[in-house]
Structure 1
Amino acid sequence: MARKKVDPNKMSFLDHVEELRWSLIRSIIGILIGALIAGFFTDFIFDVIIFGPKRGSFITYEFFCDFGKNFGIISDFCNPDFNFKVQSKEMSDEFSTHIWTCILVGFVVAFPWILHQIWRFISPGLKSDEKKYSGGFIIVCSLLFFIGVIFGYFVIAPLSVHFMMTYNLSPEISTEPSLSSYIGYIRASILASGLLFELPVIIYFLTKIGLATPAGLRKNRKFALVIVLIVAAVITPPDIASQIIVAIPVLILYEVSIFISKFVLYRQERRKRKLATP
């Protein structure tokens, strides 16, 4: 049965709830389609992508190794010796990991579609001149998310794996992580980084509703620095170098967010002056 179209200006509370329900359903369908597609590339996703950071020849390790050599430093990233095996300790580990990994890949692939559904839901409450920016909103948010995912995979994930697998209390201890533990590190690194890179978009909307201002962001810069370092400590291994590497792009995004907030206020003031002009 086709859904009855309702004038956005005359929608009741239940109509909005119904629209939200359909937005969620369409988003879930998009994720499931992405998960189904991921299921056809299981070997590539696991053998090449997910288990890539556990190999000493991973591109990130080679980059840091070459970078150190340029300064006459032979670092632990040069051919790291952690050829470990990932263990499946429960009968259902491999099956559940396969399913949830496909869903995660589906979420990443369907992220632009999810953003489109979010925009469709909030668009009735926007002004006519704001609705025309839907394409830009989806492109910018998707681009930031994918950059964050790439940063999480090529920087945060290998740094986490390298630190944890080279940290050894005694030669008598052999580290052999479980499948859920290893996948958990990779998943957290990718998702946390992808969502963290949405900071400029979040600041944009907070400024639009009056909860953020350029002056306030500048004033609270030192508190933001502390929060960024805490977040970096949570999603990275507990060494200073890794935390700094993660904190730098987030701080850059914070500074960019200040300019975005300033631009939003400038546009609002210009619109007010235009409306006030007879």
Structure 2
Amino acid sequence: MDDAKENNMTFWDHLEELRKIIFRIALFVGIFAVLAFVNKKILFDIIFAPHRSDFITYRALCQLAEWSHISSLCPGDFHVDLISINLSSQFIVHMTVAFYAGLVIASPYIIYQLFGFIKPALYENERKYSTRVLIAAFLLFFCGILLNYYAVFPLSFRFLGTYQVSEFVENKITLSSYISTFTMLSIAMGAVFEIPILAYFMAKIGLINSGHLKKFRRHAFIVILIIAAIITPADVFSMFLLAIPMYMLYELSIVIVNKAIKTKEKKRIE
């Protein structure tokens, strides 16, 4: 949509354009969701991979244990049964996971469409940095999801799925519990990785500066360790496996905030 046409559009024209965009988004999500639904084996092979003892993360830890001669790092063989206790739960889970998969696959197109809708209302300089911020936010969110898939969820599942208060209590994890935990942690880790973007906007409106973040480095590190310990209660190694990238995000936020403030001051002088 060009700027001239945008300026001549009424409120109802904008509403009609938004309706078309929502329809296109729903269509794309629906197509990818259907494709995910019919490819059930591939979809759930990916989803259930972290619950098997031959998952790439567990194998990597065993290789690390062999190299470092620290046998406790290797999770070893384990087995956790997944069960379904409701008549319709497997079909509902299948539909829900397919929908989420369609949403994730279509997310670049969703962002493109929504940004295209608001883009004409932005100034030229705002369009440039908004595009960069959106791309960065998108990539960071997926990095968080990948970290959860390959580190946070497997280690948490292995610990909690095999933990027993007594040998008389056998662990059988429900399908809905597995999926909901996987989804919740994926969203949580994706949100955590948006810290630099949040810091950027807070710096833009003057709420924080790099001096504040540097001053509270030690406090931030303690908070990060506590959060990592809560999310991954397995052992010290898995806690630091999560805490290190989170702290790196904090340091990245300092750099981003510092750059945002300098840019803001430069524009003010000009």
* Band the TM-score falls in, shorter-chain normalisation: 0.7 to 0.9
Tell which deviates more after alignment, 110-119 or 257-266. 110-119
Query: Whose helix proportion is higher, 1 or 2?
Result: 2
Task: Name structure 2 gaps, 5 residues minimum.
Answer: none
Residue identity in the other structure for 1:208 = K
Q: 1:67 corresponds to which residue?
A: 64
Question: So what's the TM-score if we normalise by structure 2?
Answer: 0.85
Distance in 2 separating the partners of 1:258 and 1:85: 44
CA contact (8 A) 2:61 2:73 kept: no
Q: 1:262, CA displacement in angstroms?
A: 0.8
Q: 1:36 corresponds to which residue?
A: 34
Distance in 1 separating the partners of 2:11 and 2:223: 37
Distance in 2 separating the partners of 1:25 and 1:231: 39
Q: 1:175 corresponds to which residue?
A: 171
Residue identity in the other structure for 1:40 = V
Task: Name structure 1 gaps, 5 residues minimum.
Answer: none
Q: 2:255 corresponds to which residue?
A: 259
**Matched pairs, number:** 269
Q: 2:43 aligns with which of 42, 45, 66?
A: 45
Residues 152-196 of structure 1, C-alpha deviations (whole Å, 9 max, x = no match): 100011101110122122222210111011112222222221222
Which ranges of 4 or more aligned residues in structure 1 deviate by more than 6 Å? 5-22
Q: 1:55, CA displacement in angstroms?
A: 1.1
Q: 2:54 corresponds to which residue?
A: 57
Q: 2:195 corresponds to which residue?
A: 199
Structure-to-structure mapping, 1:155-234, within 5 angstroms = 155-234=151-230
Distance in 2 separating the partners of 1:177 and 1:217: 41
Q: 1:147 corresponds to which residue?
A: 143
CA contact (8 A) 2:161 2:173 kept: no
Cα gap change, 1:112/1:87 in structure 2, threshold over 3 Å: closer, same or farther? same
Cα gap change, 1:159/1:78 in structure 2, threshold over 3 Å: closer, same or farther? closer
Does the residue aligned with 1:149 lie in a helix, a strand or coil?
helix
Structure-to-structure mapping, 1:48-127, within 5 angstroms = 48-75=45-72, 77-81=74-78, 83-120=79-116, 122-124=118-120, 126-127=122-123
Distance in 2 separating the partners of 1:9 and 1:218: 45
RMSD: 3.0
